[in-house]
Structure 1
Amino acid sequence: MMELNQVALYFRNRSLEGKEFSITHLKLQKLVYYAQAWSMAIYGERLIDSELEAWLHGPVSRELYREYRDFGFQEIPPVDRLNFQINEQDSDVLEGVWRLYGKHDGKYLETLTHQEAPWINAWGRGMNEIIEVDDMRDYYQGLLQGAN
């Protein structure tokens, strides 16, 4: 399992300032959510031990929110290198998420999550409710099976 801030740093390392692949706080939150969701769908395992909640603008980690909220809607600067190792399984998930979602902005990803069952189910229970990892697993496994 990875640390939450390692996942955030991975995506910041992949970002390109001033381009479609730049990262904002909103986008970072959605990328972390999708990394957790696809790890659950593909491997049945959490990528991170943190909970993600259904907020008005989509899935959010409270810890990431506290760390990155001061950036507002501004780009978060990329990081040049990572000072930690990533195992192959986690690397595959993170790289797959980046390839699928990295070119999209945060508003697009917010809209996408609002159309998907894990956020909808949690939001239906109330604002800031935890998005269940079992919901993530079931929903995204269904997408995988539908693609075959």
Structure 2
Amino acid sequence: MTSSSAPTSAAAVANAFLDLQAADSGNFPRIDQMKLYKLVFYAQAWWLAQKDTPLFEEDVYAWPWGPVVREIYGDFKSAGRDPITHQRATTITKTGTSLLDFRISKPQPPNEEVMSFLKQTWDVHKPFTGIALSNATHAPGEPWTIIKDLHDGDLSDKPLIPVEVIRDVFKGKLVASRQA
């Protein structure tokens, strides 16, 4: 994706969900890798449906177990199936002209509007396990399923899910929910 006007990063969204979990004393399945990847996807999807613009610039890919942002996977793959409690996503920033001029840091937290939106997204999705959220992304008509079908069921190359597909599917859901 090439949008440079996205209000935040996928890493900041992931960290916000982990911070929301830490502040929530309720009884719900804790965030593991799969749940985190799906929460980040749903945040992007519902933001696109409401705002017609991406929440974050990073692309979403159709991996065998559902939509994933590659950059987030790299930060959390070591968690395995365990709940993620202390890990946080990082970003890599170019700091100069040399090939080695990079800095790894924690991303800036999202602004107040985005945090309010992420809190709503968290409240809706927190009761579900990562497996349940993954299963929901595999339903007929979902962006992941559309891409899987276009690739004859072969997701071994982990193809891109175009932002337009995500936006259009979730915009349709938003319109349908308002007509109900």
Asked if these proteins are the same fold (TM beyond 0.5), I'd say: yes
Secondary structure of 1:75's aligned partner: coil
Q: Distance in 2 between matches of 1:78 and 1:141?
A: 34
What code does the residue aligned with 2:20 have? R
Matched, 1:41 2:49: yes
Equivalent in 117, 122, 141 of residue 93 of structure 1 = 117
Q: TM-score, normalised by structure 2?
A: 0.74
What code does the residue aligned with 1:120 have? T
Q: Distance in 1 between matches of 2:173 and 2:26?
A: 32
Matched, 1:71 2:95: no
Secondary structure of 2:28's aligned partner: coil
Q: Distance in 1 between matches of 2:176 and 2:53?
A: 21
Q: Name segments (4+ residues, structure 1) moved above 3 Å.
A: 16-19, 82-85
1:110 is aligned to 134
Secondary structure of 1:146's aligned partner: helix
Contact (CA 8 Å) 1:54, 1:119: kept in 2 or not? yes
Matched residues, number = 146
Shift of 1:11: 0.4
Q: Distance in 2 between matches of 1:94 and 1:43?
A: 14
Q: Distance in 2 between matches of 1:62 and 1:137?
A: 19
In proportion to residue count, which structure has more helix? 1
Gaps of 5+ in 1: none
Deviation per residue, 1:16-51 (Å, 9 max, x gap): 599414110000000000010011000011011001
Alignment of 1:1-148 (within 5 A): 1-16=7-22, 19-77=27-85, 84-115=108-139, 116-126=141-151, 127=155, 128-148=158-178
Deviates more, 1:102-111 or 1:125-134: 125-134
Q: TM-score, normalised by structure 1?
A: 0.88
Q: Distance in 1 between matches of 2:32 and 2:131?
A: 10
CA RMSD of aligned residues (A): 2.2
Deviation per residue, 1:64-116 (Å, 9 max, x gap): 1111011110000057xx98443343223312211111121100000000014
Q: Distance in 2 between matches of 1:47 and 1:30?
A: 14
Q: Distance in 1 between matches of 2:160 and 2:113?
A: 25
